Amino acid sequence: MAEVEKRGERTLVPTEWTYAPAPESTEIVRLRDAYGLYVGGEWLEPSESYTTLSPSTEEALAEIGQAGPEEVDAAVTAARDAFANGWSALPGSERAKYLYRIARILQERAREFAVLESMNGGKPIKESRDVDLPLAAAHFFYYAGWADKLEYAFPNRRPRPIGVAGQIIPWNFPLLMLSWKIAPALAAGNTVVLKPAETTPLTALLFADVLRQAELPPGVVNIVTGDGRTGAALVKHPGVDKIAFTGSTDVGKAIQRELAGTGTKLTLELGGKAANIIFDDAALDQAVEGIVNGIYFNQGHVCCAGSRLFVQESIYEQTISKLKRRMATLRVGDPLDKNTDVGAINSRMQLERIQELVESGKDEGADIYQPPCRLPEKGYWFVPTVFTNVAQSYRIAQEEIFGPVLSVLTFRTPEEAVEKANNTPYGLSAGIWTEKGSRILWMAQQLRAGVVWANTFNRFDPTSPFGGYKESGFGREGGLHGLEPYLTFDSSEPWGG
Ligand code: NAI
Ligand code: MG
């Protein structure tokens, strides 16, 4: 029994609030030993393969295909055939039925997907269960609703599908990024070749099972696994009409160079270094929750993470002490434990990148704080970290760390906050915490960021467009805006003829 302390005359309370393990069972997941490539509604045996791991245990989970150019070509051909042979001519109301079906199946199989997502990617089960899965299903529901209303969404512009969409996604929200990509593409009448990230292919491969269950016509969605070489082969393929990419800025730039002058449509959703700005009139306890959610959610593997905290000088000490106290309560460990707040780092490579940047922060002279925390012996882990005494020029204030590491800076006036917040090559998101509505509106106008949250952070909704400025990329995903990159319009009659 837990040690108890007597309070007053009667009440017994534990002296220490520890948590008993609360593991989610993995029994619902049926892993295969090896997975093929999902092409034309069939499983194609890959010529090469690699092993996918659990980042929290380093155990092998399955063998995954490493698709080469010929296999990518087979997938693009299957997508092209499906586009020409029925899918693009299907009435929108029929396409919508498939999307609704997929959405419902995702809801029905949510637990299976959530457990698999946490096994393969390392994110806490409470996040894959309460964020990734509900949002993934919501995206399919939302775009199902547009499929038969494109003429109303874009009046007098005669929207038509483009053709084959090549979609390359990262490892931080594997199934959710799949949904962001596939749902609008299909709603608009395109067919798809999707390449999941090499470290997190399993939920995309399970999704192929959903497509079969939904009886989606073969070839409408094809899934080719593999690393950057597979992605590059997809980008180079002349049969692809549109590329949608989410990932690092470097790869995004390479793709843009590759496609320059080819006429292939492109949208890029790249990195970020978001400012989370706390004014002295903000509700501070809520703001501290927002800071924690902003940077420690999903181990900080979030392109819109609030990785630069700007605190107004007058409340600096108070904010930092509240933040440190809150950080000490974060539970780091087994992603499948329902009490875990911060799970495993997605890969050894990402862990090394985080470590390298954290070292640079120490070397450049910032002060580091990490709460006491016992990490599991196996697997990839990083303790939630905050750097204070950070100068704007430090690498930890400039570069995307993509890990649970926060850099704190200060400001005195709203003008100074804006100037510092915008002092970055990125421009994906920002947060503002203040009681003044007028200040929120003024700040939102000044900040060069695609998404600005006010008195909240990391909120997502399928109806709301998401995307960046500057080196964070271009094009929007979500909402009505998210359909546009998957459509072509009658440019001869731009004003409706
Ligand atoms: P990455 O950009 O290399 O990987 C993202 C996707 O692109 C993966 O599916 C990958 O296989 C594919 N890919 C890689 N090289 C390619 C190429 N030449 N052509 C086509 N596709 C290619 O990102 P990586 O290496 O996993 O992470 C490095 C850093 O990038 C992270 O530390 C983080 O800062 C940033 N990043 C940002 C993301 C975001 O959501 N904005 C997502 C993932 C990474
Ligand atoms: Mg890379």
**Residue whose token pair is 């053709």:** 163
Contact between 428 and 303 under an 8 Å Cβ cutoff? The reply is yes
* Integer Cα distance of 167 and 242 in angstroms: 8
Three-class DSSP category at 230: helix
| pLDDT over 60 (residue 460) | yes
Model confidence band, residue 18 (pLDDT cutoffs 50, 70, 90) = confident
CA dihedral 97, 195, 64, 301 (to 10 degrees): -100
Contact between 336 and 129 under an 8 Å Cβ cutoff? The reply is no
| pLDDT over 80 (residue 1) | no
269 is catalytic: yes
Distance 90 CA to ligand 1 centre (A): 34
Report the pLDDT value the prediction gives residue 7, as an integer from 0 to 100: 62
**Mutational pocket test of ligand 1: of 251, 259, 351, 469, the residue with most ligand atoms within 8 Å of the beta carbon:** 251
* Integer Cα distance of 268 and 92 in angstroms: 27
Percentage, residues of the chain above pLDDT 70: 96
For 470-477, what is the mean pLDDT?
Answer: 93
For ligand 1, atom 12, which residue shows the shortest CA distance? 228
Report the pLDDT value the prediction gives residue 497, as an integer from 0 to 100: 38
Contact between 62 and 52 under an 8 Å Cβ cutoff? The reply is yes
**470 φ, ψ to 5°?**
50, -130
Closest CA to 485 of 154, 45, 126: 154
Distances (CA, A) of 486 to 158, 184, 282: 13, 7, 40
For ligand 1, atom 6, which residue shows the shortest CA distance? 170
Supply the pTM of this predicted model. 0.95
| pLDDT over 50 (residue 13) | yes
| pLDDT over 90 (residue 441) | yes
DSSP per-residue letters across 107-121: HHTHHHHHHHHHHHH
Contact between 187 and 88 under an 8 Å Cβ cutoff? The reply is no
For 241-262, what is the mean pLDDT?
Answer: 97
Binding pocket residue ranges, ligand 1, CB within 6 Å: 168-170, 172, 195, 197-198, 227-228, 231-232, 235, 246-248, 251, 254-255, 270-271, 303, 350, 353, 400, 402
Cβ neighbours for 199, distance < 8 A, ≥ 6 positions apart:
52, 53, 55, 120, 121, 171, 346, 347
Q: Residue 204 is encoded by which pair of tokens?
A: 């995309």
Question: What mean pLDDT, rounded, does the chain reach?
Answer: 95
70 is catalytic: no
Closest CA to 444 of 459, 458, 430: 430
